[in-house]
């Protein structure tokens, strides 16, 4: 009797161990091959299904909460998820164009960058950050990351670059292009050496790869410093040549053209995009780009004028106005997800598009502050921005803490408010102070520190205006001809 009991316990333990080992090493893809009535149980027990989820457990959502039990319903939900992915891609594109790009320009102005330096730093980080985060997620733990990265790089260089060359006329800077290609070849060759050598990649080799990028950025900074040094030197030479009697007209003309070219390379001023936006809203943007033919590069248009963003900042300011003039009107206008100008200029199809995107745009407007030099008051909305001071830290802390905790009681992550509940203790007093200090008709100085940017913009603008004056004076000396 005793021996029979021991044998029974031994057989149950062995089966349990085997089943536990099977579940632990089972791929979540195998769940999709099981009958529908078993998928819910397996989705909650297979460890691999818990490893690849983030904020939502899609397997548990589909086979437990929604209880999908046939192929047609499963395909329907797959199409729904594909549509949601497209919506998120559009949301990311809209977010970058409306919120990220204007702030990137302002930061570049504050740090006295030109377009090349801003492109290899901020723009490069912005492009690479989603890919880096995705590569570090558990869902890509066993993926061929290097092959994926090389494929993405080829897509950017060939597909995106080729599309730009086809649709947009532009001028390539010879020495900058050569410098970039040489560093690209250097990075590829070093990475190839690391791959073909025996053994795993060491920490030192990874640091070497990272240092190549650091050296590349340092050379771009040195190139910008040299450019500005030679601009100052060229201006001194022009001052000297113009003081000669008679002035060497041919040499002055050549130096003025070179100075204008260098000033354009050094300028990252914010351009007026009103014409582009109106062309896009009326639906004529694509037809304008291809009006000369699909296989003909369009003629370059006149360069857009610089935005007078100090005028935009103070356009509605009047010291005699109350500090809270039209407070709630401004608040509701800032939350309006339909662009009034696009609604008036667009046709019926564009208006349907504006209505369809309203929920997503409203969420972005509710949580993301606008800082854009092209807009009146630079996008400042007193009540909305004071509200965002409280809501944004609370939401971000909650989502980050919940993602780190990773507690799931159902198909979605359980929100953890244990830390974020204390954030209003700091943000509410700050929002009250800003509300009492600021005005509705002009953004406060701390909305964005614009002083350095304005100084930079005025210095560049005055330099270009001075070039124009020099050209005019040379024309007068040369009888009206250059």
Q: What percent of the chain has pLDDT over 70?
A: 78
Q: Look at residue 363 in the predicted model and tell me its pLDDT.
A: 92
Which structure tokens are listed for 152? 């993405």
- How confident is the model at residue 436, as a pLDDT? 92
Please give the model's pTM, rounded to 2 decimal places. Answer: 0.73
Confidence of residue 13 (pLDDT cuts 50, 70, 90): low
CA distance 156 to 161: 6
Give me the count of residues in the chain.
482
Residue 423 has pLDDT above 90, yes or no: yes
Residue 440 counted as domain residue: yes
CA distance 218 to 104: 20
465 vs 233, which has greater pLDDT? 233
Instruction: Please give the pLDDT value at position 448.
Output: 59
Q: Is 328 a member of any domain?
A: yes
Instruction: State mean pLDDT over 280-289.
Output: 57
- Per residue in 397-422, is it b (16+ CB within 10 Å) or e — as a string? bbeeebeeeeebeebebeebeeebee
What pLDDT sits at residue 282?
63
Asked whether residue 76 carries a pLDDT value surpassing 70, the answer given is yes
Residue 337: Cβ within 10 Å count? 16
Q: What's the Cα-to-Cα distance from 183 to each of 53, 217, 232, 327, rounded to whole Å?
A: 38, 11, 29, 53
Out of 18-22, 113-117, 217-221, pick the least confident: 18-22
Residue 199: burial class (beta carbons within 10 Å; 0-12, 13-18, 19+): exposed
Domain end position, chosen among 52, 69, 86: 69
Q: Ranked by mean pLDDT, which of 161-170, 191-200, 368-377 comes out on top?
A: 368-377
What pLDDT, on the 0 to 100 scale, is given for residue 301? Answer: 55
pLDDT at 266: 78
- Confidence at residue 9, expressed as pLDDT on a 0 to 100 scale: 47
Asked whether the bond before 246 is cis by omega within 30 degrees of 0, the reply is: yes
- Please tell me the predicted confidence (pLDDT) of residue 192: 82
Query: Can you give the pLDDT at residue 458?
Result: 42
Q: Is residue 392 part of a domain?
A: yes
Extended beta strands in 126-240, E state: none
For residue 35, the model assigns a pLDDT of 86
8 has pLDDT over 80: no
pLDDT tens column, 387-419: 999 999 999 999 989 888 888 888 888 888 999
Q: CA 420 → CA 162, 368, 409, distances in Å?
A: 46, 18, 20
Q: Name the token pair of 148.
A: 């994926």
Give 458 or 224, the one with higher predicted confidence.
224
Q: Under 8 Å CB-to-CB from 360, ≥6 apart: which residues?
A: 87, 90, 91, 94
Rounded to an integer, the average pLDDT of 64-69 is 85
140: helix, coil or strand?
helix
Query: Bigger pLDDT: 303 or 451?
Result: 303
Question: Residue 456: which pLDDT band, with cuts at 50, 70 and 90?
Answer: very low
Which pLDDT score is estimated for 303?
62
pLDDT of residue 414: 87
Neighbours of 113 (CB within 10 A): 22
Helices H, strands E: what count in the chain? Answer: 23, 0
21-25, 229-233, 387-391: segment of lowest average pLDDT: 21-25
Kindly tell me if the per-residue pLDDT of 465 is higher than 80: no
Cα 149 → chain centroid: 19
The two tokens of residue 332 are: 């509701």
| 4: pLDDT strictly greater than 50 | no
Model confidence over 36-65: pLDDT tens digits? Answer: 888 888 878 777 777 767 788 888 888 888
Asked if residue 390 is part of any domain, the answer here is yes
Is residue 464 a part of any domain in this protein? no
Mean pLDDT of 355-365: 92
Q: For the chain, what percent of residues have pLDDT higher than 90?
A: 16
In a domain, 90, yes or no: no
Could you tell me if 46 and 31 are in contact, meaning their C-beta atoms sit under 8 angstroms apart?
yes
The answer as to whether 241 is a domain residue is: no
SS3 state of residue 271: strand
Name the packing angle between helices 203-242 and 249-266 (round to 10°).
150
Alpha-carbon dihedral sign for residues 187, 191, 197, 203: positive
Distance CA 31, CA 42 (A): 7
How many whole angstroms separate alpha carbon 122 and alpha carbon 118? 6
State which of 137-146, 304-313, 451-460 shows the largest mean pLDDT: 304-313
95 in a domain, yes or no? no
> Is residue 358 within 8 Å of 337, Cβ to Cβ?
yes
Closest alpha carbon to 405 in 414, 392, 396, 393: 414
Domain that holds residue 379: 272-279+305-451
Question: pLDDT value at position 7?
Answer: 45
pLDDT at 385: 92
Question: Is pLDDT of 294 > 80?
Answer: no
Contacts of 89 (CB under 8 A, 6+ apart): none
**What is the C-alpha separation between 220 and 215, in angstroms, rounded?**
9
Q: How many CB atoms within 10 Å of residue 342?
A: 17
Residue with tokens 């020099």: 470
Position 6 scores a pLDDT of 45
Note the pLDDT of residue 79. 93
Give me 46's structure tokens: 């297979």
Structural domain count, the chain: 2
177-198 residue pLDDT tens:
888 889 988 988 888 888 787 6
User: 392: closest CA among 425, 420, 350?
Assistant: 420
> What does the pLDDT read at residue 464?
47
Mind listing the pLDDT tens digit for each residue in 238-260? 888 888 888 888 888 888 888 88
In angstroms, the CA 437 to CA 459 distance is 31
Distance, first Cα to last Cα, the chain: 115
Section 151-164 average pLDDT: 80
């Amino acid at each position: 009797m005793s021996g029979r009991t021991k044998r029974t316990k031994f057989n149950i333990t062995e089966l349990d161990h085997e089943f536990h080992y099977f579940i632990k090493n089972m791929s979540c893809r195998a769940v999709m091959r099981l009958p529908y009535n078993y998928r819910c149980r397996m989705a909650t027990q297979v460890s691999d299904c818990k490893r690849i989820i983030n904020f939502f457990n899609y397997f548990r959502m589909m086979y437990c909460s929604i209880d999908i039990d046939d192929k047609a319903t499963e395909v329907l939900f797959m199409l729904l998820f594909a549509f949601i992915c497209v919506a998120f891609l559009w949301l990311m594109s809209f977010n970058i164009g409306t919120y990220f790009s204007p702030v990137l320009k302002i930061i570049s102005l504050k740090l006295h960058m030109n377009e090349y330096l801003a492109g290899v730093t901020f723009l490069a980080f912005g492009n690479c950050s989603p890919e880096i985060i995705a590569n570090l997620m558990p869902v890509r733990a066993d993926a061929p990351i290097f092959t994926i990265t090389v494929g993405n790089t080829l897509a950017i260089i060939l597909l995106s670059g080729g599309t730009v060359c086809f649709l947009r006329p532009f001028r390539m800077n010879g020495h900058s292009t050569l410098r970039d290609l040489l560093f690209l070849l250097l990075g590829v060759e070093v990475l190839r050496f690391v791959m073909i050598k025996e053994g795993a990649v060491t920490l030192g080799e990874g640091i070497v790869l990272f240092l190549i990028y650091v050296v590349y950025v340092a050379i771009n900074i040195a190139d910008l410093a040299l450019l500005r040094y030679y601009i100052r030197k060229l201006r001194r030479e022009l001052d000297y040549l113009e003081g000669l009697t008679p002035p060497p007209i041919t040499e002055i003309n050549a130096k003025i053209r070179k100075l204008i070219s260098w000033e354009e390379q050094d300028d990252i001023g914010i351009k007026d995009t009103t014409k582009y936006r109106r062309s896009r809203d009326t639906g004529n943007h694509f037809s304008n780009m291809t009006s000369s033919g699909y296989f003909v590069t369009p003629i370059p248009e006149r360069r857009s004028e610089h935005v007078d963003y100090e005028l935009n900042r103070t356009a509605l300011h009047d010291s005699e106005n109350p500090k809270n003039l039209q407070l709630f009107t401004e608040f509701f206008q800032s939350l309006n997800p339909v662009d009034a100008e696009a609604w008036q200029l667009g046709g019926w199809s564009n208006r349907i598009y504006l209505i369809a995107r309203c929920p997503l745009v409203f969420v972005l407007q509710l949580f993301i502050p606008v800082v854009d030099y092209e807009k009146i008051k630079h996008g400042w909305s007193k009540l909305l921005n004071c509200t965002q001071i409280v809501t944004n830290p609370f939401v971000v802390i909650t989502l980050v803490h919940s993602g780190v905790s990773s507690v799931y009681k159902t198909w979605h992550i359980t929100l953890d408010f244990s830390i974020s509940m204390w954030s209003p203790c700091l943000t509410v007093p700050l929002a009250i102070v800003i509300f009492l200090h600021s005005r509705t008709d002009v953004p406060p100085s701390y909305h964005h520190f614009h002083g350095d940017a304005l100084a930079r913009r005025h210095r560049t603008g005055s330099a270009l205006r001075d070039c124009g004056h020099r050209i005019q004076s040379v024309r007068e000396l040369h009888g009206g001809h250059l």
